[in-house]
C-alpha cells in the first residue's frame, strides 16, 4: 500500500471511530497502536500521518471495515443507526454495548461484534463450506 493509500485509510478509520463516539485514548487501545502512543497522536492521524504499519493494527482495521460494511448493509436507509447500534446495550455482549465489548475484550470483542453482524464472515471463520439449509 502506498503512502497516499495509507493516509486515506488512516483518515477513514479515525473518522469511523469518531462517528462511533470513541475517545482518542480508546481509539489507540482499540487499534492496538504501539505502547506509548499518546491521545494527541489521533489528531496527527486526522491531519495526514498514516498509522504505523504492522499486523496487529492492520488486522483490527480489517475487522473494523467489516463491521462498518455490515452496519451499512443492516441499516441502508439510515447511516446513523449503525452508530446508535454500536452504543446500545446488547444481550449478545453481556448487556454491554458492542463498543464496550470491543474496548474491554480487545481483538476477541472486535471479532465477536463482526461475527454477530456479518454472517458471511462468521461462515468463513467457522470453516463451513456448506451452504445453510
Per-residue pLDDT tens for 61-75?
A: 999 999 999 999 999
Res 128 pLDDT > 90 = no
**C-beta of residue 93 within 8 angstroms of C-beta of residue 31:** no
CB atoms within 10 A of CB 105: 16
This prediction has a pTM of 0.86
Extents of the domains making up the chain: 3-126
**C-beta of residue 18 within 8 angstroms of C-beta of residue 68:** no
- 132 vs 73, higher pLDDT: 73
- Return the C-alpha cell found at 83: 452508530
Amino acid at each position: 500500500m502506498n503512502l497516499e493509500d495509507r493516509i486515506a485509510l488512516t483518515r477513514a478509520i479515525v473518522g469511523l471511530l469518531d462517528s462511533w463516539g470513541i475517545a482518542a485514548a480508546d481509539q489507540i487501545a482499540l487499534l492496538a497502536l504501539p505502547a506509548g502512543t499518546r491521545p494527541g497522536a489521533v489528531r496527527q492521524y486526522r491531519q495526514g500521518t498514516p498509522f504505523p504499519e504492522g499486523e496487529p493494527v492492520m488486522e483490527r482495521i480489517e475487522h473494523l471495515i467489516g463491521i462498518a460494511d455490515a452496519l451499512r448493509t443492516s441499516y441502508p436507509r439510515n447511516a446513523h443507526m449503525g452508530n446508535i447500534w454500536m452504543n446500545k446495550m446488547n444481550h449478545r455482549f453481556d448487556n454491554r454495548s458492542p463498543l464496550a465489548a470491543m474496548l474491554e475484550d480487545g481483538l476477541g470483542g472486535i471479532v465477536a461484534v463482526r461475527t454477530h453482524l456479518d454472517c458471511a464472515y462468521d461462515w468463513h471463520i467457522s470453516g463451513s463450506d456448506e451452504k445453510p439449509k
